[in-house]
A and B are shown apart, each in its own frame.
Chain A
Amino acid sequence: MPRTDAKTYRSRVKKPDDFDRFWDDVLRQAAEIPLAPEIVPEPLRTSDDIETFQVFYTSLDHVRVAAWYCRPRRRAERTPAIMLLPGYQMDPPIPKEWARKGYIALSVAPRGKLRSLRQFNPGYPNLLTHNIVDRHTYAYRGFYVDTWRGIDFLLSRPEVEPTRIGVTGSSQGGGLTVTTAAMRHEVRAAAAGAPYLCGYADAIELTHTYPYEEINDYLRLHPESREKVETTVAYFDGTNFADRIRCPIVVNIGLQDNVCPPETGYELFARIGASDKQLYPYDGHGHDAGRIKHSAVVDRFFAQHLRGER
């Protein structure tokens, strides 16, 4: 049954007054660290049509981040690129599917993910609440920067067309798509599915499923920390990044989403600053957010904005 009230839900999310200053400072710290990109051929995953590489680069706190990088063998000298961002507990996939569609594709494994966990590994469950009482050391501070640095990696590649970079992902990948589109003006198109990390304060009241339930577990054990937790997550809430988005963006949500409540998706969408934005709510769908049907929408969207197809 659709929740007809999801659209009119009143969010508790408020943007901190020093939100921009906080992130400008983080970006300043990150900018002082050389990217040091490394690209290593992966013959086992390379085929006649797709070349696959392991990629490594350095991010905030000097954490070395891994990624998969695929490119079509037959491509233009400068080819549009898509960065794929992972869900909370999924292992970052090898993005051959995007390369087969003609894009150069980067699939990032932010810190703590498999292949990026030597220096940082709070585990799952735990990532969501790791240092959640301190915005300066909260897990997602570095995690977000890891994804934004993926754009720097793409810009460092001579085969990437720098004016045609897109970002996409679902669930946590949807939330990271929002934050990346907000913080990196080089992103020309973004497609976010079932966005997680948007509406933290609302989600922990609207649903009691993991991963958000990690925060309720934490507050049950540390009720005295509620104010600090709420303060921290406000700096990391995708909803508070949304007004910075200027590129075309599509968002899909499931009206029966049992992980990321649809109420948070509506609120996020309302706050997106881009004039070219479109919301696709799928009734009868949960956290899949209508993915199968919606994939054609996303394909058309990127073809239009990154390849100039009409």
Chain B
Amino acid sequence: MSAPGDRTDGAFADYWRQALDELACYPACPEIDPLPSRATEFATLYNVRLTSLGPYRLFGYLSVPRGRGPFPAIYYAPKYQSVLEIIPQGTANLQRSRYITFSLAARGQRNADMPYAAMFPGLLTDGIAGSASYVFRGIVADAVRGLEFLLMWPELDPARVVVMGNDMALAAAALARGATHVVTTPALFHRTAELAGKTQAYPLEEINDYLRTYPERAVAVRDTLAYYELGAFASRVTAATLVMAGAAGTLLDARALEPLVAALRGPATVYESEQSSYKDGLYAERWIAAQCGVTDVETILPEHWRP
């Protein structure tokens, strides 16, 4: 079999076309319920349930600024953790006054953990010996479904839709229409098989654990991972993209991510981590605000980040 991770490889396109076709067979059937305990004077919060591939019922938090739109939107694509946050920990709640935000729990995460409850560590290798059985086929579809849902929200400004997260942000922006901007911090699927061998840290250590236990499945694992190679997704992304790289010398630093950045079809900005959540977070907040025309970003930063 040829390497489907190659952006020109038809196998990659066929694999995801089939997944998206299956996804399209299931209408989202959203249920949207206000959550008064998280409502503020500047934003309303909703619990959202919607259907994805499987069929599987997902959960998300949708926050909408009070007042008249249209508003820019930030879609927080599913992360690699069990907990679903309304907005990421440490983000000023006032962010919800300027942006529509939508965070999604993919299958297995809390609130979307019935019937499938994911384990962390464990999720990264669940079903990995077969490209059809790999759990991330469904999770990528979930991320796509979340973006599709958000884009239907009436107060959303379709010219300012930011998809933010790790690998699933890039995958969703590649496979669904509508993302105008992407902020991605690659973590799982950039040359996974190669980089796992260079670290003992989780989550990539999950791959090492798995291959140590099932060495005979190494070829199958590589074949599966090729369908998830971020470089292949990147070649379908036309949105302006901010790539948050690791600090120089770390596994996923700017140098390691050069092939991914080169594959992006839209304008790309690379930020190399300063190993400070303050400096890194501030850069991303300001980049998003500038891209979305939010001119008073300093007033919606966390108190301890303000000048």
**CB–CB A208/B303 < 8 A:** yes
A1: which B residues are within 8 A, CB to CB? Answer: 307
- A256–B83 alpha-carbon span in the complex (Å): 24
B residues less than 8 Å from A89 (CB atoms): 81, 83, 85, 89
Residue total for B at the interface (Cβ-Cβ under 8 A): 42
Q: Are A96 and B205 in contact (CB under 8 A)?
A: yes
- Known contacts A89-B83, A207-B303; A220 and B90 CB within 8 A of each other: no
* B194-207 interface code vs A (CB 8 A; 1 in, 0 out): 00000011100100
CB atoms of B93 and A210 under 8 A apart: yes
In the assembled complex, the CB of A77 is this many whole angstroms from the nearest CB of chain B, namely: 26
Residue of B nearest to A52 (CB): B209
Taken together as a complex, chains A and B put the C-alpha atoms of A259 and B91 apart, in Å, by 8
Residues of B within 8 A of A124 (CB): 83-85, 110
Chain B 58-91: CB-based contact to A (< 8 A → 1; otherwise 0): 0000000000000000000000011111110111
Q: Are A91 and B82 in contact (CB under 8 A)?
A: yes
Q: Per a CB cutoff under 8 Å, which of B37, B83, B111, B247 touches A217?
A: B37
Contact A209 B91 (CB under 8 A): yes
B129 → A minimal CB distance (Å)? 14
Question: What distance in Å separates the Cβ of B241 from its nearest Cβ neighbour in chain A?
Answer: 24
CA–CA, A285 to B90, complex, Å?
13
Chain A residues with CB under 8 Å of B275's CB are 288, 292-293
- Distance (whole angstroms) from the CB of A263 to the closest CB of chain B: 9
Chain B, range 210-248, C-beta contacts under 8 Å to A: 210, 212-213, 247
- What is the bound-complex CA distance between A210 and B247, given in angstroms? 26
Q: State which of A90, A97, A210, A255 has its C-beta within 8 Å of the C-beta of B81.
A: A90
Tell whether, in the assembled complex, residue B202 and residue A100 are in contact, meaning their CB atoms are under 8 Å apart: no
Residues 186-230 of A contacting B (Cβ, < 8 Å): 206-211, 213, 217-218, 220-221
Contact B202 A94 (CB under 8 A): yes
Contact with B along A258-285 (1 / 0, CB 8 A): 1101100000000000000000000011
| B116 lies within 8 A of chain A by Cβ | no
Contact of B92 with A by CB under 8 A = yes
Distance, CA A3 to CA B307, complexed state (A): 10
In the assembled complex, A41 has its CB within 8 A of some CB on chain B = no
**If the complex has contacts A209-B93, A210-B87, A258-B302, are A284 and B276 also in contact, measured as CB distance less than 8 A?**
yes
A100-B210 CB under 8 A given contacts A89-B85, A218-B37? no
Residue contact A91 to B40, C-beta cutoff 8 Å? no
Q: Are the C-beta atoms of A100 and B276 separated by less than 8 Å?
A: no
Q: Which residues of the partner chain B approach A287 to less than 8 Å between Cβ atoms?
A: 89-90, 277
A286 touches B210 (CB 8 A): no
Report if A47 contacts B (CB, 8 A): yes
Are A262 and B304 in touch, CB under 8 angstroms? Answer: yes
In this assembly, does B119 line the interface, its C-beta being within 8 Å of a C-beta of chain A? yes
Contact B209 A3 (CB under 8 A): no
Residue B278 CB within 8 A of the other chain: yes
Q: Does A23 contact B (CB under 8 A)?
A: no
Please give, as numbers and ranges, the residues of chain B lying within 8 Å of A262 by CB-CB distance. 304
Contact of A123 among B91, B110, B119, B202 (CB under 8 A): B110
Most buried by A among B81, B200, B209: B209
Closest A residue to B213 by beta carbon equals: A44
B residues near A259, Cβ cutoff 8 Å: 89-90
Verify B120–A209 contact, CB threshold 8 A.
Answer: no
Given contacts A258-B302, A288-B275, contact A209 B89 (CB under 8 A): yes
Interface residues as binary, A29-47 with B (CB distance below 8 Å gives 1, 0 otherwise): 0000000000000011101
A78 to B286, CA, bound (A): 52
Contact with A along B87-113 (1 / 0, CB 8 A): 101111110000000000000001100
* Chain A residues whose CB sits within 8 angstroms of the CB of B40 once the complex forms: 217, 220
B166 CB, nearest partner CB in chain A, Å: 15
Task: Report if A217-B38 is in contact (Cβ < 8 Å); known contacts: A207-B303, A258-B278, A286-B278.
Answer: yes
